[in-house]
């Protein structure tokens, strides 16, 4: 175990440049027999080591002294795992660029959510999110798995709303959390390192906090009054502009809330990389055509 701890400390120092975390890990090693260090491990190897140690340290100990050490070791190893996971590349997050459609059984005019997702994808959507606040997770899981496979077929991203465990179980590309859901940093400990995380934001301050939590994209909204948001006061396009100015240029921004064919040009012009819609596609008479028109409009605005 000490050799694995040493390798994990090396990984944190090499990949994260985090001397404090590396020092904490090495202090644990000093209390045990040490072993020679090998070559500098990769990020993936560091994650594998951390995952292995988390399993090893979960085994209970009858020795009080050992139990105390293991408890401290678990805390430090969990921190290392979270930090390394946050650095893991998640290129599939870039698939949310373009048209991002949320399918929700309460907003499909009675149509099946998988059927709705397929129509949106045929119309050019690049990302599908499943939001289901009606059914139990056991009922949602088969649908989530079907949507995962469907999005794979179309080269699109599939995102699960709220539930990190459900996203992990179905193999979704990503997870979306709100301000009142599990913090992105905590969700990172549950989902796989390759799964991206998006987070909802209403203000610049929230957006900056989401980036601190290593969110892979930040959703800003509501842009306009929205049927799915009830009486919520829109954050507005100006908030989107302020967020765009406040965050690094490579930050992936999703605009959401009340977006339709008549106003999508405003959010794209304000700096959104993605336009997220529900009603504009899922409540349309012809969802595929509605998606196609939105995609065309987004492309037109980007071409200038």
Question: Which residues are tagged catalytic?
Answer: 131, 200, 229
Residues in the chain: 304
Residue with tokens 């959703």: 219
Contacting residues for 169 by C-beta, under 8 A, at least 6 apart: 141, 144
Residue with tokens 């196609």: 292
Residues facing residue 70 across a β-bridge = none
Angstrom distance (rounded) from CA 184 to CA 171 = 18
The CA-based diameter of the chain, rounded to the nearest angstrom, is: 69
3-state secondary structure at position 98: strand
Nearest to 247 by CA among 267, 272, 274: 272
Number of H helices, E strands in the chain: 13, 8
Asked if 16 contacts 10 with a C-beta cutoff of 8 angstroms, the reply is no
Q: Is the peptide bond before 222 cis (omega within 30 degrees of 0)?
A: yes
């Amino acid at each position: 175990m000490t050799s694995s701890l040493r390798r994990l400390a090396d990984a944190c120092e090499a990949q994260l440049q985090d001397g404090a975390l590396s020092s904490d890990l090495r202090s644990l090693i000093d209390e045990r027999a040490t072993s020679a260090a090998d070559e500098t491990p990769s990020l993936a190897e560091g994650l594998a080591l951390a995952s292995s140690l988390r399993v090893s340290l979960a085994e209970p100990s009858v020795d009080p002294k050992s139990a105390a050490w293991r408890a401290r070791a678990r805390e430090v190893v969990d921190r290392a795992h979270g930090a390394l996971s946050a650095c893991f590349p998640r290129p599939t997050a870039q698939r949310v660029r373009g048209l991002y459609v949320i399918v929700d059984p309460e907003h499909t005019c009675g149509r099946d959510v998988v059927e709705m997702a397929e129509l949106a994808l045929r119309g050019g959507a690049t990302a599908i999110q499943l939001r289901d606040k009606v059914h139990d997770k056991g009922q949602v899981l088969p649908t989530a798995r079907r949507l995962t496979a469907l999005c794979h077929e179309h080269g699109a991203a599939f995102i699960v709303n709220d539930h990190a465990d459900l996203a992990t179980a179905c193999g979704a590309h990503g997870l979306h959390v709100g301000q009142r859901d599990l913090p992105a940093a905590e969700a990172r400990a549950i989902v796989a390192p390759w799964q991206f995380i998006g987070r909802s934001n209403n203000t610049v301050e929230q957006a900056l906090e989401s980036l601190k939590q290593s969110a892979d994209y930040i959703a800003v909204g509501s842009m306009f009054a929205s049927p799915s948001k009830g009486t919520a006061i829109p954050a507005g396009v100006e908030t989107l502009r302020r967020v765009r100015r406040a965050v690094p240029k490579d930050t992936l921004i999703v605009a959401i809330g009340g977006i339709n064919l008549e106003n999508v040009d405003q959010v794209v012009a304000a700096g959104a990389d993605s336009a997220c819609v529900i009603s504009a596609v899922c409540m349309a008479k012809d969802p595929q055509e509605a998606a196609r028109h939105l995609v065309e409009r987004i492309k037109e605005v980007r071409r200038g």
